[in-house]
Amino acid sequence: MDKIKIGLVGLGTVGSGVFKELYNNDKVEISKIVVKNLNKKRDIKGLENVQISDNVDDIIFDKDIKIVIEVIGGLNPAFDIIKKSIENGKHVVTANKELLAKKGEEIFEIAEKNNKVILYEAAVAGGIPIINPLKTILSNNRLTKVAAILNGTTNYILTKMEQDSADYNEVLADAQKLGYAEVDPTSDVEGYDAAYKIAILSTLAFKKRVSIDKIYREGITNIKAEDIECASDFGYKIKLIALAQIFDESKIDVRVHPMLVKNNKSLAHINFVTNAIMMQGKPIGEIMCSGPGAGEFPTAASVVGDVMTIASEINNTDIILPMMRCTHSVPAEMVDVTETENRYYLSVNAKNKIGVIEALGRAFSQNNISVSNILQKGVQDNDSANIVIITELCKEKDMQKAVSLLKNDSCVNQINSLIRVME
């Protein structure tokens, strides 16, 4: 039988890995590739045998191409490329988490209307198989919680800050030199990347469409070396956690922010660029998947897996892969972060004088907050002291009121950090 022809849009890190993995494949072949810069030198074996263009229409309107792989990322022109590819009779494989988080509903509706399939295993957690399991073997479970480390850049930075007792800016610069962080790291360090991914995961886990616009997001740029040291003294690690959980049975709590993770939890020991996803539910209980969350070949492996899944169905049935199609059209009712309950790590710089502990206690007691642990490490040269507190479970809105009171208290110089603690 003739090989199934594929059009590849993008030949960067992931696209190059995809081409290398599919070169000389027995069942499929990449017949055309679209790139942004035709003059860029690419030392890839076999590339000379493929038609390379800078015009995506060469793929979209090629009737022989059955599958389009999109690995350029971003909203535009990716949205138009995928839309037109589907409308012109092609199935799609993508690694585009931003597009799926922001325009997924529209894209999946177009695919269903045209009886085409979009697969996107590579969009979340790189080489970790999670999308396919959620749609198949885990689909009968009632999942109640997903907690994940979904961004390798931030996990690398936090790991190095801990290991080297280094400041954020110092480690970020090192990560950029090594290629672990982009020149503009905003999407990673401010939590956007992880938010796109948890939007996709939570939609699948809870079988309702989660709006990216309603996900609370906070990055790691305010995490200090002393926070990591103090967290360690209390028996915790600091990680950027993408969290999604059932709230009061009917609502969903989805957010991305740094959290203190207890040392006895598996997520605490996920280091450097590794990703991990922990899920809880019935009857499955608690499971965790971990592995490479990015990179040329781990991500390419997920893309290729999707390609081969589609290829195995083409010409065998009129409606391929019904279980992998999107069925989540009902919007999720999402809770505002102010209504959530958390434990908190609070670091306060206060004057070295009588009444400081009383002021802290007053702010907490007025807002129904109990203290679990408190730590003060000596007095600084300017006659101030850093006091670190870990609270018991309390409402986010109550904690924010307490912080506001402390900011205006004459005993307090400044609030250093406020970080939630993972249960």
SS3 218: coil
Residue type at 54? D
d(CA 115, CA 325): 10
Element (H, E) at 419: strand 412-421
For this structure, is 197 an active site residue?
yes
How are the residues of the chain apportioned to helix, strand and coil, as percentages rounded to the nearest 5?
35, 30, 35
Beta bridge partners of 385: 350
Q: How many CA atoms lie within 13 A of 218 on its CB side?
A: 16
SS3 370: coil
C-alpha closest to that of 187 among 59, 354, 44, 74: 74
Catalytic residue among 197, 251, 377, 401: 197
Greatest alpha-carbon pair distance for the chain in Å reads 85
d(CA 390, CA 358): 16
d(CA 156, CA 153): 5
* Strand duo 4-9 + 65-70: pairing: parallel
d(CA 349, CA 416): 7
DSSP state letter for 420: E
| Residues that are catalytic | 197
